Amino acid sequence: MNTRNTYVLIGLAVLAVVGVLFYRQSQAKAKYDWRDSWVAEAYSEKNPQPYGTQVLYRLLDTYFAGHPLKTIQEGVSGELPLQPAQAANYVFVGEGLYLDSLSTVRLLAFVENGNTALLSSKTIPFDLMFHLYFRECADAEWNDYEKKRDSIVQVSLRQPALPAPVSLHFAWQNIPKAYQWSFMKADFFCDSLPQRPLGYLNDTLINFAEFPYGKGRFLLHTTPIAFSNYHLLRPEARSYAEGILSYLQNGDIYWDATSRVPEMVARQRNNRNNGDSYSRDLEAEHPFSYILKHPSLAWAWYLLIGLSLAYLVFRAKRRKRIIPVLPKNENSSYEFISTIANLHFREKNYQNICVQQMRLFLAQLREKYGMVVQLHPETQQPRIDSSFVSRLSQVSEVPVPQIQNIFTQYAATTQYEPTEEMMVDFHLALEAFGKQAK
């Protein structure tokens, strides 16, 4: 084997060793997520990491025999029943709790009807505490949970009494680190109000309390880390969690999987509602919250918007000018005739009136019987003979003498200056023909 081949084999061996070491190192990385900052999976029932709640979720699934664990997937306002068939429980575990106005009202009504709500968080919404702590102790205005920084704390319960205080700590890779522990001031509990403490941090700081509301009660717990996977796998810490869960009623459990937010966000919202600052970390409520939370109302709203837009689109097209309403056509011939007749009558021009009447009579004969007669242009006499009169009598069934009388009277009005009486007689003769003619 030459020197070159030797160097190639040595190089390949070195690469193989480095590859094996790199693979073992990648496999030896930490299997657990010990991050102490907020992540989306913090206190999630699906999270198997140290600060998830998968162990608690499985424990609650079989906690009451015959009563299932129901997970709220979309929102408290739509999935938490106001009046379940029997006593039930609402459980929330997380750094901060976010409830909009509808969810707050629903949760309050749920507890007021005789159910129990366990809220384990490092802060509590002011909108909720306004109802739970409406009547305040003297000089004890509610201002959220207080904080104490320490690496290890001792927790205990009044009932059921634990054999000894339980140590809790926040750890990074099993190494305890300093942590902000929340608690409630003792000033919030006075003999004149029904709320009472149930558990303590370091024997004096209240971290677990009962707030009655209506027929039910709220159980406020300020140490959610006690329900994490990391602590529930320790026997002594598990006994502490079981002591808290013993305050739940024997019934269905509703696990809130949608209302968890970071502690900082929840506290900023409390400050905003208190008038101190404004937070953009949570979506502000708007007048359409109620509409958009109900599918039927939401679809009705979207349909209204769509129809309005469609109307604007089609309405925006150029429209033709509106056709004005024309007045009804009126026949003014009778008015004209009446006017001309009145003019001739006032002037006593009876002869012209008779001529016009004869022309109308001849026009009637032409239209009705097809018999055409012309007037002499100078004498204004109709050009007729006895055969015409006979034929007219046959078609109209009017006697010949009566027809001859019409033409005789007309001839008299044109040959002589007619009187009013002559004009009237001629008109009556024409009228009688009109009534008798077929």
What are 112-130's pLDDT values in tens digits? 999 999 999 999 999 999 9
89 vs 25, more confident: 89
H or E segment at 69? strand 69-72
SS3 192: coil
The residue to which tokens 């997937």 are assigned: 73
Backbone angles phi, psi at 129, to 5 degrees: -70, -20
**Poorest-pLDDT segment among 13-27, 237-251, 277-291:** 277-291
Do the Cβ atoms of 357 and 345 come closer than 8 Å?
no
Predicted local distance difference test score (pLDDT) of residue 25: 56
Rg value, the chain, Cα? 54
- Tell me the residue type at 143: N
What are 378-411's pLDDT values in tens digits? 777 887 888 888 888 888 888 888 888 888 888 8
Averaged confidence pLDDT in the chain: 83
Asked whether the predicted pLDDT for residue 14 surpasses 50, the reply is: yes
75 vs 117, more confident: 117
SS3 80: coil
Extract the runs of DSSP E, i.e. beta strands, from 214-262. Answer: 216-221, 252-256, 260-261
Domain ranges in the chain are 54-299, 333-436
Asked whether the predicted pLDDT for residue 279 surpasses 50, the reply is: no
Alpha helices in 347-397 (DSSP H): 350-369, 386-396
Just give the CATH number of 54-299. 3.40.50
High-pLDDT (> 70) share of the chain, %: 82
Q: pLDDT class for 26, splitting at 50, 70, 90?
A: low
Identify the bridge partners of residue 6 per DSSP, sorted by sequence position: none
**Poorest-pLDDT segment among 42-46, 101-105, 339-343:** 339-343
Predicted local distance difference test score (pLDDT) of residue 235: 87
Write the CB contacts of 135 (distance below 8 Å, at least 6 apart in sequence).
Answer: 192, 193
Say how far residue 391 (Cα) sits from the centre of its chain. Answer: 88
Return the top range by mean pLDDT from 141-155, 299-313, 354-368.
Answer: 141-155
